[in-house]
Amino acid sequence: MIKKGLGKGLGALIDEGTTNEDKGIMELKINEIEPNKGQPRKYFDDDKLTHLAESIKQHGIVQPIIVKNEDGVYRIVAGERRWRAARIAGLTKVPVLLKELSNKQVMEIALIENIQREDLNPIEEAEAFEKLIKEYNMTQDEVASVVGKSRSAIANTIRLLHLNTTIKEYLINGSLSSGHARALLSIDDEKIQEKVAEEIKNSGLNVRDTEKLVKKYLTKKKTHKENNRNDNYNAIEERLKDILGTKVQIVEKNKKGKIMIEYYSLEELDRIIEMVEVMSTKKTTS
């Protein structure tokens, strides 16, 4: 089912490209048409294409393919899946709607068409959003307006590109969902990230269970880090205790802190001060 209310809407974007040069619906030889090099969608399901090809054999292409003339080459703007299926079906000509559109409009239309039909995997969607931002200087708010999503949804989708290659492949082939992946982004260590991803995939965990699993790993990592920190500080405290001959405590917070040296009489305080002065003098003369 095609979703309604996506940003400007596909029809509105196509209308923006209407000029006196538009020729309306016409037929073109299928080998005169080439796919869009900037097509957000990179993966096409062969079984679904075969099924669509059978439908096209029986009913033809109901909705024309939108194309743009680029120096004599008819480039697909929307409808590449129909074009591919038509080739499988053995058609020699297909109905097209020839439009005059900017590269930015082509990208927007291709992206919206795929989102409406839920054809893009999470990585393709993230790459398309990033392309609009980097190549066409759009803000996340502007992309959100075009595709009918919130700015935070755009930002969270783009963040998926920070995952490593293995997990991206899981998103592409459908082994993991974007919900799973967003939970994994909380883990900084790539090896642990992959380990958790494997556990999710093999156990068939849902997103809620994945979030619990990630939280468990993060808690374990924090405890391990705290234990390491305590071991390091304990060793330093013991060393200072041996040097000064009294109890020493290091109090640390946010990478800052203080060293607390205990003394039990004024004589002991004088002794500690004298030791520090001697050590300082040795350091100065060395």
Inform me whether the pLDDT recorded for 225 exceeds 90. Answer: no
Asked whether residue 141 is assigned to any structural domain, the reply reads: no
Residue whose structure tokens are 């919206």: 112
Inform me whether the pLDDT recorded for 282 exceeds 80. Answer: no
Residues near 266 by beta carbon (within 8 Å), at least 6 away in sequence: none
Domain, as residue range, for 15? 10-120
- pLDDT digits 0-9 by tens, 65-102: 999 998 888 999 989 999 999 999 999 999 999 998 88
Distance CA 208, CA 18 (A): 46
- Residue 230's pLDDT is 67
Inform me whether the pLDDT recorded for 22 exceeds 70. Answer: no
How many residues make up the chain in this entry? 286
- Residue 24's pLDDT is 73
Q: What are phi and psi of 248, to 5 degrees?
A: -130, 135
- pLDDT digits 0-9 by tens, 130-188: 999 998 888 999 999 988 889 999 999 999 999 999 999 999 999 999 999 999 998 88
Domain ends where: 58, 89, 120?
A: 120
Asked whether residue 257 is assigned to any structural domain, the reply reads: yes
- pLDDT digits 0-9 by tens, 38-53: 888 888 888 989 999 9
Asked whether residue 195 is assigned to any structural domain, the reply reads: no
Of 27, 34, 80, 142, the catalytic one is 80
Asked whether residue 14 is assigned to any structural domain, the reply reads: yes
Asked whether residue 131 is assigned to any structural domain, the reply reads: no
DSSP 3-state assignment of 134? helix
Asked whether residue 20 is assigned to any structural domain, the reply reads: yes
Inform me whether the pLDDT recorded for 17 exceeds 60. Answer: no
Q: Output the six-digit token pair for 256.
A: 């800052």
Residue 4 — pLDDT band, cuts 50, 70, 90?
A: very low
Would residue 125 show up in a list of annotated catalytic residues for this protein? Answer: no
Asked whether residue 224 is assigned to any structural domain, the reply reads: no
Domain ends where: 120, 152, 183?
A: 120
Closest CA to 161 of 175, 174, 178: 178
Q: For a pLDDT cut of 90, what percent of the chain falls above it?
A: 42
**What CATH number is given to the structural domain containing 77?**
3.90.1530.30
Domain ends where: 64, 91, 120?
A: 120
Asked whether residue 179 is assigned to any structural domain, the reply reads: no
Domain total in the chain: 2
Distance CA 79, CA 66 (A): 6
Report how far Cα 213 is from the mean position of its chain's Cα atoms.
20
